[in-house]
Amino acid sequence: MVVIYPGSFDPVTYGHIDIIKRCARKFNTVIVAVLNNKSKKNMFTIEERVELLELALVEYDNIEVDTFSGLLVDYTKEKGCTTLIRGLRAVSDYEYEMQMALVNKKLDDDIETLFMVASGKYGYLSSSIVKEVAGFGGDISCFVPSIVEKSLIKKIEEGMD
């Protein structure tokens, strides 16, 4: 079974990696689909976000990193895969996730969204909070892999120039 795990991944954190690796143990192939949304202001370019994901997930041969733009349901059709994975960190995620799952279902009745409960130790993580901590010089090594940490610090230093 092939599943798609979509998101912005700006940048990927241990919270995302936890979901992806657990999916890779349960499904034949996991497609990590990075949203190429030009209207959203991301810190990392689409190429950088893909590269960081590939480096972070290098040891898994059933994980594919890809990009998409436009509607997620159109991308799922293109890939011939109708199962989406979303992580649930806290009750606060539920409303938004329900809305997305129901809209996607309305747009394409074949789509099924499966929710995976995030590990408790990453339940508080988001890409923005990691960027904020890094921006103030805090230690982010427990939130992201070292390659992401280095790239994030470099971005912040470049932004200061």
- β-bridge mates for residue 32, sequence order: 5, 65
8: contact with ligand COA by CB under 6 A = yes
* Per-residue tokens: 36: 């190429």
Q: How far is the CB of 89 from ligand COA (least distance, A)?
A: 6
> How far lies 142's CA from each of 42, 65, 89, 152, in Å?
22, 23, 17, 14
86 tagged catalytic: no
With CB atoms as reference, the residue minimizing the distance to ligand COA is 15
Residues 102-121 that bind ligand COA (CB under 6 A): 103-104, 118
Residue 52 has a CB neighbour count (10 Å cut-off) of 24
Contact mark string toward ligand COA, 75..104, x via CB under 6 A: ------------x-x----------x--xx
Choice from 57, 125, 140, 148 touching ligand COA (CB under 6 A): 125
- β-bridge mates for residue 86, sequence order: 115
35: contact with ligand COA by CB under 6 A = yes
Residue 86 has a CB neighbour count (10 Å cut-off) of 17
13: contact with ligand COA by CB under 6 A = yes
| Distance of alpha carbon 26 from alpha carbon 30, whole angstroms | 9
Residues that bind ligand COA (CB under 6 A): 6-8, 10, 13, 15-16, 19, 35, 71-72, 87, 89, 100, 103-104, 118, 122, 125-128
